[in-house]
């Protein structure tokens, strides 16, 4: 067995109604003043009010940063960090989808004033120290609550990542109840995103691909494969929502240590140029990247297929891997997601630019089971069109 490293938060707390404990957790482990990082959509749901009520009951003063946007740009991260620094908060709570959690991680890192964001980009460059950090996801998709990764939009449309165990939270607090109100389309896109995390982690060519990540990935796909359609179409089903939130977290733990690859590399330019939600971007390119990979590396996908879709156990080898790709296409359709790039009104003449931009994602492409050239990327985009 090859040597490997596996990092994850020191505490994961899961349960329906778990948000009610946020006050006691903060007062007991952080202090009497925190910043709560969230977005306008979360404010509108009333969930932030519930969190603030719990914090107030515990005697915790809260400074709210509510301006997180999808694909958060550097300016939002820096503004939130400056607000936290000026307020003298003792820790940070991130509440919301992946963008809010990603911003919260960087606020905790930057608020002490010992580190610049530009120096933290890349793998292992964030050194800390950081403020104490609690993350509370409200979608079942990104797994950001258990990953050492924060993605920031730099310039006009390029994304860069801060990747370091320093930004793993102290506590991941998971409450399935917070996902009940998610619209079907968001449930579907974030759910497929989480499944991508498990698939790419299992098949990753990273030298840190490890047995813990592979086992987490298979359990994640078992949970999500059986529940995603019910979560999409029956959004208040507690068992389905619990399966999806736990599956998303397990997939997050998996890819946090056995990194994702070409699906994400080709998804990022779609989000950068057209502001397509990250989960949907992944869903649009997923089967086409996998079809590219299974030509030379069918093994991991053949192994994974029955965990997500038990009926595929009747096939073997390359046939099973190919059937897995087909079932993922069917799953996206059954979830009501757009079928191709054309349906997203993406002009065909931008595909070469997307392929060129994807090549900048070297951190991800190096993990793909099959090397991807710019010509390969263009061919995949054309197949997805």
Each residue of 289-316: pLDDT tens digit? 999 999 999 999 999 999 999 999 999 9
Dihedral (C-alpha) 262, 182, 101, 357: value to the nearest 10 degrees?
Answer: 30
Is 73 part of any domain?
yes
On whether both 300 and 237 belong to a single domain, the answer is yes
Residue corresponding to tokens 């992944």: 282
Q: Do 108 and 237 sit in the same domain of this protein? A: no
Q: Is residue 4 part of a domain?
A: no
- Name the token pair of 69: 């946007």
> 238 with 155, same domain?
no
Q: Tell me the average pLDDT across 356-361.
A: 95
Residue 37: inside a domain, yes or no? yes
326 and 189 housed in the same domain: yes
Structural domains of the chain, count = 2
- pLDDT given for residue 61 in this prediction: 98
Angle at CA 254, nearest 5°, toward 204 and 263? 45
Q: Are residues 151 and 220 in the same domain?
A: no
Residue 160's domain comprises 11-179
| 23 and 154, same domain (yes or no) | yes
CATH code assigned at 299: 1.20.1090.10
Q: How far apart are CA 35 and CA 114, in angstroms?
A: 18
- Report if residue 56 sits inside a domain: yes
Residue that finishes a domain, picked among 179, 199, 218: 179
Whole-model pTM: value is 0.95
Q: Is the dihedral of CA 351, 355, 357, 358 positive or negative?
A: positive
* Residue in this structure with the two tokens 């799953």, named with its chain if needed: 331
- pLDDT bin (cut points 50, 70, 90) of residue 159 is confident
Give the DSSP letter of residue 131.
Answer: -
Given a cut of 80, whether residue 179 has pLDDT beyond it is yes
Residues 250 and 148 in one domain: no
**Last residue of one domain, picked from the residues 127, 159, 179:** 179
Hey, what are 246's tokens?
A: 């736990």
Residue 261 pLDDT exceeds 90: yes
In a domain, 1, yes or no: no
- Cα separation of 262 and 361, whole Å? 9
């Amino acid at each position: 067995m090859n040597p490997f490293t596996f990092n994850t938060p020191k505490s994961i707390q899961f349960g329906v109604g778990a948000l009610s404990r946020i006050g006691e957790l903060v007062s007991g482990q952080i202090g009497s003043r925190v910043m709560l990082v969230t977005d306008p959509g979360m404010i509108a749901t009333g969930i932030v009010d519930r969190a603030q009520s719990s914090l107030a009951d515990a005697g915790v003063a809260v400074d709210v940063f509510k301006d997180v946007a999808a694909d958060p740009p550097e300016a939002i991260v820096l503004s939130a960090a400056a607000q936290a620094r000026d307020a003298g908060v003792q820790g940070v709570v991130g509440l919301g989808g992946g963008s809010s959690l990603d911003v919260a991680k960087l606020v905790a890192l930057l608020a002490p004033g010992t580190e610049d964001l530009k120096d933290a980009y890349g793998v292992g460059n964030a050194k800390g120290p950081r403020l104490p950090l609690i993350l509370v996801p409200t979608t079942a998709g990104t797994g950001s609550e258990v990953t050492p990764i924060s993605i920031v939009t730099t310039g006009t449309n390029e994304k860069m990542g801060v990747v370091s165990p320093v930004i793993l939270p102290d506590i991941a607090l998971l409450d399935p109840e917070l996902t009940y109100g998610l619209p079907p389309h968001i449930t579907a896109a974030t759910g497929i995103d989480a499944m991508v995390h498990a698939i790419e982690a299992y098949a990753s060519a990273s030298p840190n691909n490890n047995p813990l990540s592979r086992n987490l990935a298979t359990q994640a796909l078992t949970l999500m494969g059986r529940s995603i359609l019910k979560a999409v179409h029956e959004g208040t089903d507690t068992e389905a929502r619990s399966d999806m939130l736990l599956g998303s977290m397990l997939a997050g733990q998996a890819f946090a240590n056995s990194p994702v690859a070409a699906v994400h590399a080709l998804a990022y330019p779609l989000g950068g140029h057209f502001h397509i939600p990250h989960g949907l971007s992944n869903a649009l390119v997923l089967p086409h990247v996998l079809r590219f990979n299974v030509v030379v590396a069918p093994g991991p996908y053949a192994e994974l297929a029955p965990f997500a879709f038990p009926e595929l156990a009747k096939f073997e080898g390359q046939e099973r891997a190919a059937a897995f790709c087909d079932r993922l296409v069917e799953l996206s359709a059954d979830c009501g997601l757009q079928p191709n790039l054309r349906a997203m009104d993406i002009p065909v003449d931008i595909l070469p630019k997307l392929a060129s931009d994807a090549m900048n994602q070297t951190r991800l492409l190096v993990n793909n089971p099959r090397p991807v050239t710019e010509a390969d990327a263009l061919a995949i985009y054309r197949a997805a069109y």
